[in-house]
């Protein structure tokens, strides 16, 4: 029984071509799973399994590497349930671009099997036509990203390894090379950002993946800045592009703005009080960011900023510039 379980686990650990794995690495992974096994036994098992399954090997120097054939039939024990198939389908639909390419390539046959299972189902198959994600912002065409570059970056992030990135900054004509230490990925409005440090500097940067012109892996471990957490970085509103510190914001609002703010407040300390006619006064303490300014500007004449004074002056100047532009 133990031998059968070991062989099933071994077949699961062997990747599909073009990826491969050595017998030594297989032994290490099996040991991590609790199987005490030597290299010679694994080699004997593999040789036996090749007569039953599409398992292949190739010699690279003195090392023998094993892999499944690209079109090898997917072995799934037990078979995929309709519920699992639906989950796999939705994962492919909404999360494909957010997963490492080493993972999505391994899941390709699972995605295909999920579609086959769903085609045989009635109610669940229709679910895929009834669920969509619609952004609230203006839809933009997503920038194209080189798949080879994506694979290097995703694998580097997955394995905590640095890479040499050739990057073209916005507004610059010549790209530059940097040793990049990837720390995280953030997906925002159709753009994928790599959160990283460059060279040996501790400053955390945001780099749009579509601006990379090349990427080469390095066998050097990433050392994150002391105390860095991706969630903390995002919660500090670094992706809102800070313009200053926290401010006591106060503005007049009316019509649909009022309802929206009652349903989805700007902050936990938000207050709304009547003013006159259809207007109310909204007040809260919030960090001043470009995102906040863009959000307020989007309401046009439905919002009038009252405090702080410098922010009111900025809106006043922006309105005057727009007025002069459209004269």
Q: Please spell the DSSP secondary structure of 124-156, one letter per residue.
A: HHHHTTT-----SSPP-PPPP--HHHHHHHHHH
Residue 122 has pLDDT above 70, yes or no: no
**What integer is the mean pLDDT of 285-298?**
89
The answer to whether residue 283 is domain-embedded is yes
Number of domains in the chain: 4
In this structure, is residue 98 part of a structural domain?
Answer: yes
| 2-11, 96-105, 129-138: least confidently modelled range | 96-105
User: What pLDDT score does 1 carry?
Assistant: 43
Cα(184)–Cα(325) distance, integer angstroms: 41
On whether both 23 and 50 belong to a single domain, the answer is yes
Listed in sequence order, the residues at least 6 apart from 76 whose beta carbon sits closer than 8 Å to its beta carbon are 110, 113
Residues sharing a CB contact under 8 Å with residue 54, sequence separation 6 or more, in sequence order: 68, 69, 71, 72, 73
Q: How many CB atoms lie within 10 A of CB 156?
A: 25
Q: Are 118 and 85 in contact (CB under 8 A)?
A: yes
In a domain, 188, yes or no: yes
| Count of helices and strands (H, E) across the chain | 11, 12
Examine the domain organization and report whether 253 and 317 are in the same domain.
Answer: yes
- Percentage with pLDDT > 90 across the chain: 30
Residues 101 and 172 in one domain: no
Asked if pLDDT for residue 254 goes beyond 80, the answer is: yes
Q: Do 59 and 86 belong together in one domain?
A: no
* Residues 292 and 225 grouped into a single domain: no
Residues 225 and 244 in one domain: no
Among 202, 221, 204, 211, smallest CA distance to 163 is for: 221
pLDDT tens profile 139-150 = 767 788 888 898
**Are 221 and 261 part of one and the same domain?**
no
pLDDT digits (tens, 9 = 90+) for 165-184: 999 998 888 999 999 999 99
For residue range 176-225, what is the model confidence (pLDDT) as tens digits?
999 999 999 988 877 889 999 999 898 999 999 999 999 999 999 999 99
* Domain assignment of residue 174, yes or no: yes
Residues 197 and 218 in one domain: yes
Q: Give the separation between CA 60 and CA 151, rounded to whole angstroms.
A: 23
Q: Rounded CA gap, 44 and 50, in Å?
A: 10
Model pLDDT, residue 167:
95
* CATH, residue 26: 1.10.10.10
Within 8 A by CB and 6+ apart from 31, the residues are 37
Please tell me the distance from the alpha carbon of residue 306 to that of residue 311, in angstroms, as a whole number: 8
- Cα–Cα distance, 295 to 241 (Å, whole number): 13
Instruction: Residue 298: give the domain boundaries.
Output: 238-325
- Out of 68, 99, 117, a domain closes at 68
Residues 245 and 231 in one domain: no
Q: How far apart are CA 296 and CA 315, in angstroms?
A: 9
Residue where a domain terminates, one of 68, 100, 119: 68
Statement: residue 76 has pLDDT above 60: no
The residue among 235, 267, 293 that closes a domain is: 235
Residue 50 has a pLDDT of 82
Whether 265 is covered by a domain: the verdict is: yes
* pLDDT confidence of residue 25: 87
Q: Would you mind telling me the total number of residues written for the chain in this entry?
A: 327
Tokens of 314: 């900025």
Is 137 inside a domain boundary? Answer: no
**288 lies in the same domain as 230:** no
The H or E element that residue 197 is part of is strand 191-198
Model confidence at 73: pLDDT above 70: no
CATH of the domain at 228: 2.30.30
Q: Report yes or no on 264 lying in a domain.
A: yes
Average pLDDT over residues 249-261: 86
Decide if 292 contacts 246 (C-beta within 8 A): no
In a domain, 142, yes or no: no
């Amino acid at each position: 029984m133990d031998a059968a379980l070991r062989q099933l686990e071994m077949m699961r650990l062997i990747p599909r071509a073009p990826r491969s794995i050595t017998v030594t690495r297989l032994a290490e992974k099996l040991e991590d799973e609790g199987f005490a096994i030597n290299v010679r036994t694994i080699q004997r098992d593999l040789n036996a399994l090749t007569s039953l399954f599409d398992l292949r090997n190739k010699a690279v120097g003195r090392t023998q590497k094993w892999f499944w054939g690209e079109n090898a039939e997917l072995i799934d024990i037990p078979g995929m349930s309709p519920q699992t198939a639906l989950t796999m389908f939705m994962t492919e639909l909404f999360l494909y671009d957010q997963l490492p390419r080493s993972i999505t390539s391994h899941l390709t046959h699972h995605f295909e099997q999920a579609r086959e299972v769903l085609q045989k189902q009635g109610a669940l198959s229709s679910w895929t036509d009834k669920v969509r994600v619609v952004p609230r912002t203006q839809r933009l065409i997503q920038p194209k990203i080189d798949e080879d570059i994506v694979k290097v970056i995703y694998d580097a992030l997955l394995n905590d390894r640095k890479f040499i990135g050739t990057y073209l900054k916005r507004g610059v004509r010549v790209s530059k090379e940097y040793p990049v230490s990837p720390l995280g990925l953030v997906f925002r409005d159709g753009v994928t950002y790599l959160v990283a440090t460059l060279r040996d500097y501790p400053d955390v940067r945001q780099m749009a993946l579509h601006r990379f012109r090349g990427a080469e892996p390095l066998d050097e471990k990433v050392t994150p800045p002391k105390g860095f957490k991706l969630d903390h970085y995002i919660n500090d509103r670094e992706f809102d592009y800070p313009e200053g510190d926290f401010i006591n914001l106060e503005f007049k609002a009316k019509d649909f703005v009022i309802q929206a703010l009652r349903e989805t407040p700007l902050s936990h300390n938000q207050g709304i009080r009547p003013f006159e006619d259809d207007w109310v006064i909204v007040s809260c303490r919030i960090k001043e960011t470009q995102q906040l300014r863009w959000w307020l500007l989007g309401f046009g004449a439905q919002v009038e900023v009252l405090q702080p004074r410098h922010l009111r002056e900025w809106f006043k100047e922006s309105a005057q510039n727009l007025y002069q532009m459209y004269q």
